Structures are given as structure tokens and as C-alpha cells.
Homo-oligomer: A and B are copies of this chain.
């Protein structure tokens, strides 16, 4: 994400992990946890965890630890997971298809209400009773439906054009999967997923093993 805020992006990136572990603990019926136990689970140090959570007011009590349900709910609120979001996907290829059908996003409140492509005739979507709309209608659709999040799963050649349409239509949060650095205004949050860059850390490792 490219946005400035009081809390550093490094801290924010750790919150979903805390949130996930707390959710698992809740399911297992565990109501209370110390920062040390949370440290054992997550791999972050206890002092790191306390420091991170203190950014948001601090939830623990000396000698008691954290109330799991309370902390889970509070982190959910901080992460904006206590409400739903309207989302569009542009780029109806394999990745767009996978992202659109991924249940985890819907379960977390991210509702994909429109899928767009320059070529809307897509038998794969049709076979699932999903309509792909022509990209010409993207701007109107976003405005009429107050879409808040735009996902980009186009080729890298088309990605900036789609980002421009998103920005022009009022979208403030863009999730980009194309392998290109997009340019967006300062008040728009941009989060890019770099799958190739992630994969290349593994080839780097295998390569460095070769040399030993």
C-alpha cells in the first residue's frame, strides 16, 4: 500500500496475521492469551506484539493478557472487516477467474459485484452463470454502484488504463495483480501483488544452494 498514515505499513501488515490467529483461538474456545503465548504462535516477539497493539490504544491488561474475542473484534474493526465492500474485477482471464471465485474474500465481506473485460464473451464464466461485462461500461457501473475497491487482473499493457478508469470513477483502493508499477493519485491506496517476485525468492534460494 502506498498510503501514509500514522501507523506504519509494516505494523498494518502484521495485523491480519494476529487477527487470523485470534480467530483460530476463538474457534478452539480459548478466551485469554498472553503476549508471550501469542508470540509462540505467530513468531513475532512478545514485545513486538505489545508495541504493535499499543498503536491502537493497547488492549491487554498487565497480569491477565488479552481477551481473545475482544482483541479479535477490535482488530477486525481496525482492519475494516466489520462491514462489506463492493468490488469490481477487470481482466477476466485465469487469475481474474480465480480471484472472483475465491470464497475467502466474500467470507471476509468483499463482494465482487461486477467482472469486466474488453472481451466479455467468456464461456468459463457463462458456465457458472456469471456474466462478464464489457469494459466500456466500467466507469458508469462503478459510479452507479458506489464501488469502493477495484481489482486489476489484466495484462500489464492494459493495467494503467484500467487504473485510470478506476480513479476517474471515484475508486479509492486498487488491488493490482499486473506486473507493472501503476501511477495513482496520493489519495488512492494501491496494493500490488507481485507473484513473480515472490516466486523468484525461491529460485534465488535454490540457486544459492547450488553454489555451496
Question: Which of B43, B102, B191 makes the CB contact (< 8 A) with A95?
Answer: B102
A95 to B108, CA, bound (A): 18
A43 to B190, CA, bound (A): 15
- Complex contact A85–B196 (CB within 8 A): no
Known contacts A80-B206, A206-B149, A207-B79: A198-B179 contact under CB 8 Å: no
Please tell me if A141 contacts chain B, counting CB pairs below 8 Å.
no
Number of interface residues of A (CB under 8 A): 59
Question: Which of B189, B196, B207 makes the CB contact (< 8 A) with A202?
Answer: B189
Segment of A11-19, A31-39, A45-53, A63-71 in the binding face: A11-19
Chain A binding surface SS class: helix
Known contacts A79-B200, A98-B94, A200-B81: A172-B206 contact under CB 8 Å: yes
- Complex contact A12–B102 (CB within 8 A): no
Segment of A1-9, A132-140, A160-168 in the binding face: A1-9
Query: Which chain A residues have a beta carbon within 8 Å of chain B's beta carbons?
Result: 1, 3, 5, 9, 12-13, 15-17, 19-20, 42-43, 77-81, 85, 94-95, 97-98, 101-102, 104-105, 108-110, 124, 148-149, 172-175, 179, 181, 189, 191, 193-210
